[in-house]
Structure 1
Amino acid sequence: MGRRWIRWSHKRGMRSSVVAFIFLASVFLKLCFGIGSYSGENTPPMYGDYEAQRHWMEITVHLPIHQWYSYDLQYWGLDYPPLTAYVSWICGFVANLINPTWVALDSSRGIETDSSKFFMRVSVVVFDALIYIPAVLIFSRTWFGARSKRTQDLAFLLLILFPALFLVDFGHFQYNSIMLGFTIMALNFFATEHDLLGAVSFVLSLGFKQMALYYAPAIGSYLVAKCILSGPTDGGRLFIRLGFVTVATFMSLFLPWIPPFSASPTLIIDPISRIFPFARGLFEDKVANFWCASNVIIKWKKWAAQEMLVKAAAILTFLGFLPSVIVMGKVAWDLKVWNKSPEQKLVETKDDPKPEESSSHTPILPLLPYALLNSSMSFFLFSFQVHEKTILLPLMPLMLLFSGATPGSEVYQWGALGSNVAVFSMWPLLQKDGLSLPYFALVFLWNRVVGYDPIGIIYTAFPFKSFVHLMSAGVYAAIIFLHFSEQIISPPDRYPDLFPVLNVLVSTPVFVCLWLWSIKCCVQVSWALTGPSGFEEADGQPQHRKHLSIAVNDASQMRTSFVAKSDRTRAVSLGPAQGKRVRRSSTRSAAGTGSSTALPSSSSVFRGTIDSSVMEGRAAASPK
């Protein structure tokens, strides 16, 4: 439906107003979600996340900074990094100007007037419009720059209708779009070679919610790999600059708790101890990760001490994201050119029509979205003290990949399955918050907009086309069965959490498969960049200039050659595009004559790897 509407709008001369209409429609939907229930509504004495966010506005407005992380910790003590506190102060300051009773110290606890709820809902929409929406708009224009305007608008639409984010931020009530927006903006800066600004943006994401650490291994390994590519001199200089910018940004966020700006040098312990609450235990609610799923058989909290569980979680998490870090480093080392002889460099660039542009964009950039998915999913599955809402973090890179995927492709199928199962994994939380109707309505709307039919997949399970197709059919059948069973069957007294546990057992295998799939994609993209057998081919000469593009017959087979249009494969690219796109007429001409068509100038396509699972391209030529 979304694709057809965008096509209809463009054909009728309304292409310039598509973005504005999508933005206004999304704001309308978010305000509609605000009419419904939220976390902790009418449930004293602690209420829920809604009251936590409001309470932080209350204490940041009325208390000095050094008391923010120590005031009445038993009642929703502040446990997020300083940028969250600063945003709470801004909201509290505005609320205090409009109606001081909304944020009156202590006496406003549990306030649920219509006017205060409207203000709280609007505050989420405003910050979403200021940070997340510009970030995804720039992403659609930067990362899909070589694609058509329709594809860019469709990607923007799909990222705006991020269903899990809708339900958590505008239903359950949180401000996750700020954290995700800063991370996406960091990716935009990396794609345009503004690495220092990208580092600042990611630190701001970390400074808003510590959960952004889920992305740290991927982004850290990418920046280190960028330094390796740049060589000892330029790379060393870049490394020093990145370190300085990162430390300076962190210090500016924590400045009020650092001497000489704080009254005591020990005050910095307050925010640090609140940000990393290891005392809470391995997990609280039922979460679709490794620990909760395996806890059905192995009672971890009974058989292992907490210190041991912390170490085990750290080791498993490290092993989970290690493959993407290794792949990123290996590709950077294989593609380095700073230690090659002039003769080797001449061989590499002799076929490049504009060698001076060949290094304008980082060739390892295509690995970054998959590395983000691998890293964040590893944290979600294996790390300590995970909440069901943190599935938003692995979903973000998956939705970035999905937004440019061709319908029916492997990325499209994994993205749709991952999004639907992620929303389903939050069903116990959403049901408790009174968000059952928004849950079903948004799932139906999103699948309709993206052109995905879960029911149809069940009917066409056999003969199955791929593993993800077969798995999707089984998972959707299980989800429908559990939803109906929950309405007609009461869980036995001995197993009151029967349905939440079954939810975990259905969702966790999907997330494990997504984690494994992200590793597979990292390896495939690395093969496309350097070749599966290494950097050098049989003649011993470096060949990475021949790997400027990838075409794939399907997501499980990648090869470093151009593909004829008759193959129905779509080349895609990662990185910012400059100049004009390749005309379809030239593509048809090359395919029709059977002649070999050289890759257009590096200004007309994304430099680096081209991967059909991420976005479509326009360049095509005869098979290898």
Structure 2
Amino acid sequence: MAASGAAVRGGGRGFLSLALGVSLLKCLLIPAYYSTDFEVHRNWLAITHNLPVSQWYYEATSEWTLDYPPFFAWFEYALSHIAKVFDPEMLNVQNLNYASPRTVLFQRFSVIFTDVLFIYAVYECCKCIEGKKAGKELTEKPTFILSILLLWNFGLLIVDHIHFQYNGFLFGLMLLSIARLFQKRHLEGAFLFAILLHFKHIYLYVAPAYGIYLLRSYCFTGNKPDGSVRWSSFSFLRLLALGSIVCFVSALSLGPFIALNQLPQIISRLFPFKRGLCHAYWAPNFWALYNALDKMLSIIGLDDKWFGSAVPTRSPALCDSISNSHLHCDSHVGPRGFLRCLIVCALSSFMFGWHVHEKAILLAILPMSLLSVGKPQDAAIYLLLTTTGHYSLFPLLFTAPEFPIKVLLMLLFTVYSFSSLKTLFRKEKLLNWMETIYLIGLGPLEICCELVFPFTPWKLKYPFVPLFLTSVYCAAGITYAWFRLSISMLPGPAVGKAKLQ
């Protein structure tokens, strides 16, 4: 750990240059297209600034009601006091779809500024990487590769700084909590993750990995020679410490609303199961493949007779039971096993969850970056997952001016990912010929969806076809990556050029 930390500190100028460079790129993206999420967060600024706490989760003037946990509501409340200096009109609850130039500047810069936490978290994660000898150039080190894969992540760039969201500092909290667990600062890691859950509840997907690992590695203080737990070593004091952290953070977040008897209202906002199984367009997961097959069978009249009876009830309970089937993950092998379990949790929930947003693929891609510089097998899975997952985000940016931006940014990031990881594992063949052909197929798919289909006579009659093709094609690749990742959970020899400590 000391050697890897010294290596990161020795390359501090390089890391700072990377962080500064990506921040400048984010500034250049300020005039770009933004989605309805821009109005969502403007409305939340207005709600939290003007209304008493008791009305935050009841206000419904806009269709974009507050549906994040209380810590995020307080985050919006804090931002609103700065927003008032830029343009007070953005804080008017009745000013629906208000987007003055000053409002745009404030919203964009607020995302860029809060990314400072993400930058710090990446730095801490890089300190957990044991790379090559210190005599090598920084650009050959796994730490440098990892810093680029995280700081310049294509998906995070377009989702936060074009499409518009605040995922950067949230992923910063998650990565920082992961780093703290690798550094054996368990209580701090648990505290950060508990805070994260009360900022955005999507991170419940990976809560099982945290729970299993913390119980196994912190509450049990001794192991048998075969690696299994020694039950006599269980510490109730440590369990009490973990429980106290969770209770304290939960009370701080939910306490005021419990006092107002509003907990049921908050839960109904956070978990709107009435929205249906799928999001606005099919996220590239199991349900995209299910719906595609269901659609094809309905055309030939066999959906009710055969396929419809195969899965008779697609309910939240069914989706949760499937997505939680990954709880066999073996976290007792140490921090690296915990990280692998976390990624499997995230990807399994993406594959089978209820009303999954396409952007949730980043919950698996970003932590997978840490594994990618450790073993060639993980690097291969990362390349498959990140290339397919990032391409599946293309439909989020559907306006013409953003077309060259998203294509160029993804090409640059993808080319670097492949070249750097192939250089790191130069003696290994990362992808086989079938995997390579599949990824190459994304090029013709993009040409078909973006450049050919809009000029065909089927555009008006079948406008959903590009989304259909993108979701189904990407779902096949992500399903394959999920399968390979699940197989990698089986015990095997530890190999690779770098490892997480």
For Structure 1 versus Structure 2, the TM-score category normalised by the shorter chain is 0.7 to 0.9
Equivalent pair of 2:68/2:201 in contact (CA under 8 Å): yes
Partner of 1:280: 275
Count, aligned residues: 460
1:154 paired residue among 127, 138, 145: 145
2:39 paired residue among 51, 56, 72: 51
Equivalent pair of 2:145/2:420 in contact (CA under 8 Å): no
Per-residue deviation, residues 183-216 of structure 1 (Å, max 9, x unmatched): 1111111112221111111111111111111111
Change (3 A) 1:439 1:223: same
Partner of 1:253: 253
Asked whether 1:271 is paired with 2:234, we answer: no
Within 5 Å, give how 1:419-434 maps onto structure 2. Answer: 419-431=386-398
* Secondary structure, aligned partner of 2:235: helix
Asked whether 1:488 is paired with 2:483, we answer: no
* Secondary structure, aligned partner of 2:356: coil
* Secondary structure, aligned partner of 1:431: coil
C-alpha displacement of 1:241: 1.4
> Which has more helix, going by share of residues?
2
Within 5 Å, give how 1:23-422 maps onto structure 2. Answer: 23-39=19-35, 48-72=36-60, 74-106=62-94, 108-129=95-116, 131-144=117-130, 148=134, 150=138, 151=141, 152-226=143-217, 227-230=219-222, 231-259=231-259, 262=260, 266-284=261-279, 285-298=281-294, 303=308, 308-319=314-325, 321-324=326-329, 327-328=330-331, 332=332, 364-402=334-372, 404-405=373-374, 409-422=376-389
Mapped to 2, the partners of 1:500 and 1:405 lie a distance apart of 35
| Structure 1, 479-488 or 444-453: larger mean CA deviation | 444-453
Within 5 Å, give how 1:495-514 maps onto structure 2. Answer: 495-514=462-481
Mapped to 2, the partners of 1:387 and 1:426 lie a distance apart of 10
Equivalent pair of 2:359/2:393 in contact (CA under 8 Å): yes
Equivalent pair of 1:185/1:201 in contact (CA under 8 Å): yes
Partner of 1:590: none
Equivalent pair of 1:30/1:170 in contact (CA under 8 Å): yes
Mapped to 2, the partners of 1:465 and 1:153 lie a distance apart of 22
Paired AA for residue 436 in structure 2: A
Change (3 A) 1:122 1:212: same
C-alpha displacement of 1:99: 2.4
Paired AA for residue 501 in structure 1: F
Per-residue deviation, residues 582-607 of structure 1 (Å, max 9, x unmatched): xxxxxxxxxxxxxxxxxxxxxxxxxx
C-alpha displacement of 1:494: 4.9
Per-residue deviation, residues 390-412 of structure 1 (Å, max 9, x unmatched): 1111112212222x247xx3322
Unaligned runs of 5+ in 1: 1-9, 40-47, 333-362, 457-463, 529-549, 553-569, 576-624
Mapped to 2, the partners of 1:194 and 1:52 lie a distance apart of 36
Mapped to 1, the partners of 2:133 and 2:107 lie a distance apart of 38
Mapped to 2, the partners of 1:80 and 1:432 lie a distance apart of 28
TM-score, length of structure 2 as denominator length: 0.85
* Secondary structure, aligned partner of 2:292: coil
Asked whether 1:435 is paired with 2:402, we answer: yes
Change (3 A) 1:233 1:322: closer
Change (3 A) 1:368 1:479: same
Partner of 2:228: none
Mapped to 2, the partners of 1:272 and 1:228 lie a distance apart of 34
Partner of 1:582: none
Equivalent pair of 1:33/1:438 in contact (CA under 8 Å): no
C-alpha displacement of 1:371: 0.7
Mapped to 1, the partners of 2:270 and 2:399 lie a distance apart of 26
Per-residue deviation, residues 9-30 of structure 1 (Å, max 9, x unmatched): x9xx994421221111010011
* Secondary structure, aligned partner of 2:213: helix
Paired AA for residue 41 in structure 2: Q
Paired AA for residue 170 in structure 1: H
Equivalent pair of 1:140/1:156 in contact (CA under 8 Å): yes
Larger radius of gyration: 1
C-alpha displacement of 1:228: 3.6
C-alpha displacement of 1:504: 1.5
Partner of 2:437: 474
Change (3 A) 1:307 1:65: farther
Mapped to 2, the partners of 1:147 and 1:517 lie a distance apart of 31
Paired AA for residue 312 in structure 1: L
Paired AA for residue 243 in structure 2: G
Per-residue deviation, residues 493-540 of structure 1 (Å, max 9, x unmatched): 55331121111121112211222222222223xx45xxxxxxxxxxxx
Change (3 A) 1:213 1:14: closer
Equivalent pair of 1:371/1:518 in contact (CA under 8 Å): no
- Root mean square deviation of aligned Cα: 2.8
Paired AA for residue 272 in structure 1: I
* Secondary structure, aligned partner of 1:366: helix
Per-residue deviation, residues 441-464 of structure 1 (Å, max 9, x unmatched): 21122134335399x9xxxxxxx9
Partner of 2:227: none
* Secondary structure, aligned partner of 1:323: coil
Change (3 A) 1:77 1:520: same
Per-residue deviation, residues 311-344 of structure 1 (Å, max 9, x unmatched): 221221122x1331xx23xxx4xxxxxxxxxxxx
Paired AA for residue 58 in structure 2: S
Change (3 A) 1:199 1:211: same
Mapped to 2, the partners of 1:364 and 1:25 lie a distance apart of 35
* Secondary structure, aligned partner of 2:293: coil
Mapped to 1, the partners of 2:411 and 2:479 lie a distance apart of 25
* Secondary structure, aligned partner of 2:463: coil
Mapped to 2, the partners of 1:33 and 1:98 lie a distance apart of 19
Partner of 2:482: 515
Mapped to 1, the partners of 2:118 and 2:369 lie a distance apart of 14
Paired AA for residue 286 in structure 1: W
* Secondary structure, aligned partner of 2:96: coil
Mapped to 2, the partners of 1:145 and 1:297 lie a distance apart of 46
Per-residue deviation, residues 541-583 of structure 1 (Å, max 9, x unmatched): xxxxxxxxx3x3xxxxxxxxxxxxxxxxx454332xxxxxxxx
C-alpha displacement of 1:147: 6.3
